[in-house]
Structure 1
Amino acid sequence: MPEKFPSPAGWTPPGAQFRSSGNVSRTVAGTLTGLLITPVGIALAARGAAGTRQWTILGDFADRVGSTIQILLAAALFLVVAALAAYSPAGTIVAGLVWGVLPGIIHFIFPDDTFRLIGDLPLSDEMHVALYQWLQTGFPLIVGILLVGAGAAATFRRR
């Protein structure tokens, strides 16, 4: 249907120069959220995995409920970061690269150095062991690749 009154060439509505799509603030907020939530999920997953290892050692005396809850909370946090791709794909991609892919690759190339670096973190000895063993299994790399994939899928879906 043709317009009754076509706009003159080069005309824009008043205030159009101040209108933005909000992509920059959305990207920054999404990236910061992903960078903050992902390490909490990693810590919970590592701690829960260390707790499940005690099941085989201590049997019925192990804290099965606590470790299971930690693993479920970690999975929920990773789900939140993956779902964050619907809001800001860059946030999910950056979180996956920073907290998963890069540490995983660095560990495979320099395993002794990653053990030393984890030991330098201001954490308890139990948490040092839990983080190193979780890194040693390759799960940060797997989780990182999945988060990068979720962000990439959201990016391609938008186009």
Structure 2
Amino acid sequence: MSSSYQPPPGWSPPGAQFRTRGNGVRTVVGTLIGLVVTPIGIGLAANGALDTREWVIFGDAGARWGSTSQMVGGALLLFLVATLAGYSPFGTVIAGLVWGIIPGIAHFTFPDDTWRFVEDLPRLSGEMHQALHAWLMNGFALITGMLLIGSGIAATMRRR
């Protein structure tokens, strides 16, 4: 006789019907969401920060709410990408690499070419070019990338 308890035949633990086995679709969807939402959040936060700098310098307090709402909106979108790690850690890590680590390291490696690269981005206004360059120059791209990668790694470690 075995010393361990054997469950009855056909028994499964509660909640087993909700488990998913296909992680491929989850990874693709999470990666696409992360790659699309991250640059939007970065753009909103960077543009809001640039506008904040201008209203502080020029004393135009009337523009304060627009820039504050842009920064909060960008932060919420980046928060969404970080929480996406619970669904697909790979998507959050890829978004952190593509939109944070790689541009941050490229700026530190080739600082003179960063402005030219940002200027070549299509469909952006001059203010947005300036905001993205300031985002890169101040190191926030690298910080954002590290935080997104960290949330992806933490979610992976938590699952194990």
The answer, yes or no, to whether TM exceeds 0.5 is: yes
Are 1:53 and 2:60 matched, yes or no? no
TM superposition shift of 1:57: 2.1
TM superposition shift of 1:126: 1.3
Distance in 2 (CA, whole Å) between partners of 1:29 and 1:52 is 34
Supply the AA of the counterpart residue of 1:154: A
Q: How does 1:120-135 map to 2 (within 5 A)?
A: 120-122=120-122, 123-135=124-136
Supply the AA of the counterpart residue of 2:132: L
Q: After alignment, is 30-39 or 126-135 more displaced?
A: 126-135
SS in 1 for 2:60: helix
Are 1:102 and 2:110 matched, yes or no? no
Supply the AA of the counterpart residue of 1:68: T
Corresponding residue for residue 30 of structure 1: 30
Q: How does 1:59-70 map to 2 (within 5 A)?
A: 59-70=59-70
How many percent identity over aligned positions?
Answer: 58
Corresponding residue for residue 92 of structure 2: 92
Distance in 1 (CA, whole Å) between partners of 2:49 and 2:60 is 16
Corresponding residue for residue 157 of structure 1: 158
Corresponding residue for residue 118 of structure 1: 118
Could you list the runs of 5+ residues in structure 2 that have no partner in the other structure?
Answer: 11-19
Distance in 2 (CA, whole Å) between partners of 1:24 and 1:55 is 47
Distance in 2 (CA, whole Å) between partners of 1:50 and 1:35 is 23
TM superposition shift of 1:60: 3.2
SS in 1 for 2:113: helix
Corresponding residue for residue 146 of structure 1: 147
Could you list the runs of 5+ residues in structure 1 that have no partner in the other structure?
Answer: 7-19
Distance in 2 (CA, whole Å) between partners of 1:65 and 1:5 is 63
C-alpha spacing 1:90/1:62, structure 2 compared with 1 (3 Å)? same
Corresponding residue for residue 71 of structure 1: 71
Are 1:83 and 2:83 matched, yes or no? yes
Deviations 1:59-116 (A, max 9, x none): 1355100000000001100110000000000000000010001100110000111111
C-alpha spacing 1:146/1:5, structure 2 compared with 1 (3 Å)? closer
Q: Which of structure 1's runs of 4+ aligned residues deviate more than 3 A?
A: 1-6
C-alpha spacing 1:2/1:49, structure 2 compared with 1 (3 Å)? closer
Question: TM-score of the superposition, structure 1-length normalised?
Answer: 0.86
TM superposition shift of 1:125: 1.2
